[in-house]
Structure 1
Amino acid sequence: MQTLLDKSLSSFARTDLLQGPTPIQQAERLEQLLGLKAQGVGLFLKRDDHMLIGGGGNKLRKLEFHIGAALASGVDTVITIGGLQSNHARLTAAVCARLGIACELILTRSVPKAEVDYELNGNVLLDQLFGAEMSVFPAGTDSLAKAELRAAQLRDAGRNVMVLPTGGSTPLGSLGYARCAVEIAQQETQLGVTFNQVVVPNGSAGTHAGLAAGFQLLDRGTSIVKSYSVLSDRDSSAARTVQLTQNALALLGSSAIVQADEITIDGSQLGDGYGLPTLAMQDAVRLMARAEGLLIDPVYSGKAFAGLLADLRQGRFRSGDNVLFVMTGGTPGLYAYRETFQA
């Protein structure tokens, strides 16, 4: 049955990059190892790493709406920004390659890591394979200003250019995860299960904000979503997420007001900063690999899963609760962090 949210979303141009819903699977081995079955707690995984383009990942949901708008307006060049190992940059390059759009990446050395694998492997290698033009700048560079300057040059040369910010996390991009909320609700019906909490990492906030807006419009409320901040401290992440959720709701035609205490963000897993490994993250990545045979990345899902593990071990869920962990992809980043895992 089509919801009002479906109707609102259908008014926006969208390019199908997912080719159907991503699966949800029960993490039965993890449930066993963590003693969750005895507690009556269910743990499920939303496989947003399970996409066909560019190695997959959550940024594709945001790009569906950005690229939809780009194609509708005749854009021939997309410029985006991010850190050196940006998953969003990699997927933007992949989508542009598939659609025959020129792609330029303005990347900054925002993480103080200089290992050979970090510089040349992982997403950097894939950016090159997808044919993107890359420019790399020191930490602290205003990459958005660089992108706008380059866009102006290309427009002067007659090109039609779209500039995308970090992570594609705009109100328009967030609609990708509002749409994901509808997808999750449909899968709940199919699986015969209701999720009490949906858990995600929080970087540029678009994933959390989109899900929060979507569940709000499905009358589930924004607090069903919990995220772990991986880019900045908890308060900065919360302020960004509240504003983006509010803007996404407004874009969808809703007058709902988002209260700060309805946005649930945990800042315990950031560690020394964005992209910097923590022992809890390393343990979480290894546990997922050895218990379920699945890969999660060291920057986003690795830290978020570490936070969820802490909550599960501390008994923060009750018997009958079901938790959905969204695996947001980014696994090429594992190869950039070889020294972290093999030290």
Structure 2
Amino acid sequence: MTEAPRAIHPRPRTVHELLFAPDTRGVLIAASRDPDAKMTFIVTPAPGLFPGGPAGPIAVKIPATPLAAAAIRHETEMLIDLRDAGLGGLGETVPRYVETLDSDGLPALVSTALRGKPMSVAYHHWLHTARARLVAVDFALAGGWLRRFQTATSGERARIRWAEEVADQLRQRWTGHPQLDSALIRLTSADHQLGDQRVCRTMVHGDYWFGNLLVDDGVITGVVDWEGGERSGWPLRDLVRFAVSYCLYLDRHTRPGHRVLRHRGLRRTGFGAGIRYGLLGQGWLSDLVRSYLRDGLTALGLPAGLWYSAALVGLGEVAALANDDGFGSDHLELLATLPLWPTEGKE
């Protein structure tokens, strides 16, 4: 009996074959030392290297650890799902999957490179976050793109179990932490408010902070880094993540103990002072944060008054999922010390 011939699968191209091909040019734009550390290159490939593929630059994300490789595999799946999601014109703001390369036995992701600069570049310009008009534009851009994306990917309605899920994640990660019980009390309070509501599940970015939003000529031209994405999840995740991450770094350029310029009542005092100020403070920034959250909830068909409960759960999610233990623990401790109910305008 003759053995049936085996199917022959072509060997994946290697990262070296791409990066060191003649006439290929590239630049390293990001590298990290996290447990899931990766290097990201923007590459202009040599002519003919991708026949029928992208005509312009590509992004190449290379894992440094097996944990990073798992994140890249997940992002690859997300980009393929996004390609098939029927996003219309919004699809131009999402990287398109091109190819998977071999990097010493680990997968490297090749996707289209999108034009624009990260919103974080302008954020850290001198006095950017001290100017109400500029900050309002950032929130409007982020909120506008997110509403379009959530509308385009809206699915079945479900009772919100987000707070319950985050509480379980915190118990698993932070067993024995002295602030865990206090943090869980806040999540239980939030669950009492959110758990009776229903919302349409949507695709979720998972790390919707201003560093992952590309801006050019006053519009969002790209949303990148979909490693934490979810095909069907709670849309409140992305809504809250942008707000709390934006507030977190308000005091980054202020000396410890000093007042943050043009934010009355905000000083650089320990971790999360900006978040506490954004949620509970008095001033134009706090008003803007609360309006952004309320408007986002209303767009999802939820009561605007749930904004604070959603914010508490969003902080808990960062504590549960952060790559860095110190960063996660800091968020856990911040959550544990926030009031159960908002005290807007009171210091």
Short-chain TM bin? under 0.3
TM-score, structure 1 normalization? 0.28
Query: Computing the radius of gyration over CA atoms, which structure comes out larger, 1 or 2?
Result: 2
